[in-house]
Structure 1
């Protein structure tokens, strides 16, 4: 079998070390030659951000962080960066926090040092997203890719187990989507498969022992691999569905991904038997869907979109919006009937098929 592909690796420095975030963040800021950092961290993450701020003389804080990065919130953050003459952004938090830093970098060109406190993965991609008038717009731009990422699994010890599960399954969705996304290549698939293996091992350990660092490290490692694969492979059907639902109905990001994933896997897997079997092996199961469902049972995954605010009456408009966003080369041709069935099952928590 011939090997023929083009792969682009994004330029980014990654530091992975538990219990050492403050020192490494200060080092990364210094490496960039910056002296006036603006630390973006929600009030809820103050306990995690405070030690990092203490290690950064002259740092200013910005605490207005909102899910899905509304455009007006982004504008206020840009104004704050300009007001303080910031020369670097330090984001401490999950995907919404990283996303806000990216929105500022998109128009200012300021470098980002990202310190993730969930398994969202946005820190490893050059993808930005903004929401306005119920519509989420995403794009790709080199300016939004963080220059450095400081991974410290100890910062995730306080992440509640249910949110850890949802966030970890969001990372798993990056792996699955990357197996057949528009720009997929063998490197992406290798990263995604190792990501599946790491997340399959790490997430149950996080549930069993939330204060154990090993499970957190393994899950964070898997989430990073997932994000690198996704950044290269691009956004597949799963992410198109979740971006539509999040933007239109303000659904929680991680939980939406966690619910939708098995339904997209069930739709696409039969059309890519080789990739399906490789995923099954990474899950340690006879089939990829069986492995995913077994993991979901182990960690008590979110089950239904109706549990997170989506109404049954919202489904027809959601189908229309998703149908317009379906990637052109999805493994299984997608019809309106497919989407109606998929979204209804995801809404009520029915069996994927």
Structure 2
């Protein structure tokens, strides 16, 4: 196999898997690090889980003021508490908003994070941070925010309702898809992304069929971890630029927004990258012999998966309106990566967002379905 010239960076991180062993693994990690002043970040909804996870350690501070998209004011308060109490380790128990707040503290204080995910967000495996202020979400990359250790325990995800499990898992799938053509995409993170997509496409129907299926939930954690590792290397593509605008400016829910937008970005981009489209289709469970061409097969296979999962489909269901589209398009155009496989224009971006607003079934190139 002949590869193009490329540079790949792999992030250094300790990852521990084990169903039902989170408390044991957290205690071992705290002891291994010799931490004496631990700040646990967990939302009120996740407090009971966090107490179980941290039952074997001494907690110095419980911090529960967790809000999606990490408003700057919330980050400043968490930083102040950590500094005043002299914290030397952060333990985040929860989803993307929780680890995002812990990252905001680590960004300025340099305190290491032990992340214990309860969703499939994947933020725990990236060195990407995000903060929202004045209706604008700003993101950046800094190795200080990469959790030093991630502790995966599939039993912790069973409290997540099926609909949120689906949205969160599709958020992970969006990391996979963006990593295929993001600005720093390379053959290594493309391989990770495709394996992550395969795992998630198998796991999510299993969770829908039986929410207590720990094998499916472990497979979903594996898939979302691979998706995040690929994303951390490849960078943020068009999908994430769109969703950052929708979340930061219009306060749309993170996981559902990513789940809805994903199909439309796939439909826009796959005609321009047929080889990647074919590989994605196969990873999602499609056949290369379906006769629709690689882009058509990828889009149709993803559409079928959404039907199976009864996945979220309309941005209108989560607060976006027709009147918001013009501002959203303008903001995304400013952030869209020039390397996107299909050049991003005001016209095709308007079609993409309007279709996502209304839940129109996508087809390759965002052509109307007849």
Q: How far off its partner does 1:52 sit? A: 2.3
Aligned partner of residue 179 in structure 1, secondary structure: helix
Counterpart for residue 39 of structure 2:
38
How far apart in 2 are the matches of 1:204 and 1:58? 38
Residue 2 of structure 1 corresponds to which residue in structure 2? 2
Say whether the 8 Å CA contact 2:196–2:222 is kept in structure 1.
yes
- TM-score for both structures, normalised by structure 2: 0.94
Asked whether 1:283 is paired with 2:293, we answer no
For residues 284-323 of structure 1, what are the structure 2 equivalents within 5 Å?
284-286=285-287, 287-323=297-333
**Range moving further from structure 2, 302-311 or 279-288:** 279-288
Deviation at 1:55, TM superposition (A): 1.1
Counterpart in the other structure of 2:195: 194
Distance, in Å, in 2 between the alignment partners of 1:154 and 1:309 is 32
For 2:33 and 2:185, the matched residues in 1 are separated by 32
Residues 26, 54 of structure 2: 8 Å contact kept: no
- Unaligned 5+ runs, structure 2: 288-296
Residue number in structure 1 paired with 2:30 = 29
How much is the aligned-residue C-alpha RMSD, in angstroms? Answer: 0.8
Cα deviation 1:106-144 (Å, max 9, x = unaligned): 000000000000000000000000000100000000100
Q: Which residue of 1 aligns with 2:76?
A: 75
Comparing 254-263 and 276-285, the one that deviates more: 276-285
Counterpart-to-counterpart distance in 2, 1:83 and 1:51: 26
Q: Secondary structure at the match of 2:83?
A: helix
* Pairing 1:1-353 to 2, within 5 Å after superposition: 2-3=2-3, 4-286=5-287, 287-352=297-362, 353=366
Q: Secondary structure at the match of 1:11?
A: coil
Counterparts of 2:209 and 2:308, CA distance in 1: 10
C-alpha deviation, 1:323, in angstroms = 0.7
Q: Measure the CA separation in 1 of the matches of 2:30 and 2:10.
A: 23
Task: Map Cα deviations across residues 292-323 of structure 1 (whole Å, 9 max, x no partner).
Answer: 11111111000100000001100011010011
**Which runs of 5 or more structure 1 residues have no equivalent in the other structure?**
none
